[in-house]
Amino acid sequence: MAIAFGSITVVIAFMNVFQIWQRTIGAQWSAALGISCLALFFALKGHAQRKINLQS
């Protein structure tokens, strides 16, 4: 539950940052940057989850 809640919080915070990026660097660049940041976040989250599963 905590991991799901954390993900929602991160996505909401990320959407705010994304809107600021759109104003400053333009839609195309912010979309590319946003997609890569989200991909990185979920990759790190998956990696941490696998580490937890291996330890238990």
Distance of CA 27 to the CA centre of its chain: 18
- For residue 5, pLDDT beyond 70: no
pLDDT at 2: 60
Contact 36, 20 (CB under 8 A): no
Q: What is the pLDDT of residues 7-49, one digit of tens each?
A: 778 788 888 887 887 788 777 777 788 788 888 888 888 877 7
CB 37 within 8 Å of CB 14: yes
